[in-house]
Amino acid sequence: MKENDINNSSGTSNILSILDTWESYFETMDEGIGTTYERFILHRYFEKLKREYDIKSLLEVPSFGMTGVSGINSLWWAKNGLKPVVVDTNSSRIEKSRSVWNSLHYPVEFQYIDDLHTLPFDDKAFDLTWNFASLWFVPDLEKFFKELQRVTKKVLFICVPNHNGFGYIARNLFQKEKIEGFYQDNIIPKNFMHILETLNMKIKKSGYLDIPPWPDIAMKKEDMLRKIGLGFVLKDNSESDNAVFEKKCIVDYFSGKKPDLEDEILKYDFLERAPFPINILWGHHRYFIIDVN
């Protein structure tokens, strides 16, 4: 499977609007509050993984899946002294992603591959291998997880959209046509948990993350609030009804342009420890920490 072929598909659904819009984020560098929030939430898990597993090397594969500026999910690791290896199946996107990393002067190695089932890395080359919301671009999960196990020394960190969440279910109602190269059932945990069991990999911990107060919808949360008449919540200080929303992009945090962005965004994190059934019904993503040995 080549992701270039997917990107050229017509009639992209709400669930996969990122297939049509990923290039525009490199032009605007405006990810919105939703994507910025989930990136900062991910950092909390990175910190725990780094400490618990003494992570010294990592691979992100596939790196495409999150709405927003592509290829920058692993910036936190670079900021904390590592050189991530980031894999994508789209060479044009790699070049755009590399330009963002270069502007921040953080170390990274990008790799283009057209076959996710054959990774060009040595056995046990990485302490951590991870991905976020990208499993549904993998044609054969069993072959893929075998490769992840082969190249990983310590732990996998896998995040998938929460298929039980209200937002996901609502958006899925509009998913009528089949999209070539898109394997939606891959994100359902039971469909990869039996593979992990077959490979003798153990799920050490799992749960829900990215549980903000706004619903999981395929649009910027600023646009959503505007549509329902609550745009003032996130607008700048202008008194005009046409006041624009302040641009939100985690790149500004890593560049030092907005050092307080994390505090500003994470004031919305009060549902992250929400109990059942709130986490199941409102959480945007599920995570799995998997021991490979």
Chain-centroid distance of CA 145 in Å reads 18
Q: Can you tell me the distance from the alpha carbon of 10 to that of 243, in angstroms, rounded to the nearest whole number? A: 34
Q: Which two tokens stand for residue 227?
A: 């549509």
254's CB contacts (< 8 A; 6+ apart) are: 75, 79, 104, 106
Strands of the sheet with 152-161, listed across from one edge: 109-112, 85-88, 58-60, 126-132, 152-161, 285-291, 202-209
For residue 126, the one-letter residue type is: F
- CA angle, 217 then 100 then 53, to 5°: 75
pLDDT of residue 228: 55
pTM of the shown model: 0.89
Q: Which two tokens stand for residue 32?
A: 């919105």
Q: Can you tell me the distance from the alpha carbon of 194 to that of 184, in angstroms, rounded to the nearest whole number? A: 17
- Burial (CB count within 10 angstroms: exposed 0-12, middle 13-18, buried 19+), residue 129: buried
User: Could you read off the pLDDT tens digit of each residue along the chain, which spans 293 residues?
Assistant: 344 433 433 333 456 778 889 999 999 999 999 999 999 999 999 999 999 999 999 999 999 999 999 999 999 999 999 999 999 999 999 999 999 999 999 999 999 999 999 999 999 999 999 999 999 999 999 999 999 999 999 999 999 999 999 989 988 877 667 788 899 999 999 999 999 999 999 999 999 999 999 988 765 666 666 665 655 555 554 444 444 568 999 999 999 999 999 999 999 999 999 999 999 999 999 999 999 98
Evaluate whether 59 touches 152 at the Cβ level (below 8 Å).
Answer: yes
DSSP string across 103-153:
HHT---EEEE-S-TTS--S-TT-EEEEEEES-GGG-S-HHHHHHHHHHHEE
CATH of domain 3-219+246-291: 3.40.50.150
DSSP string across 76-107:
HHHHTT---EEEES-HHHHHHHHHHHHHHT--
Evaluate whether 130 touches 50 at the Cβ level (below 8 Å).
Answer: no
pLDDT of residue 11: 37
- CA angle, 64 then 262 then 242, to 5°: 85
Evaluate whether 204 touches 31 at the Cβ level (below 8 Å).
Answer: no
Report domain extents, the chain. 3-219+246-291
CA-atom Rg of the chain in angstroms: 18
Backbone angles phi, psi at 270, to 5 degrees: -70, -10
pLDDT of residue 53: 98
pLDDT of residue 231: 55
pLDDT of residue 242: 41
For residue 283, the one-letter residue type is: G
- Tell me which residue of 96, 130, 105, 109 sits closest to 22, measured CA to CA: 96
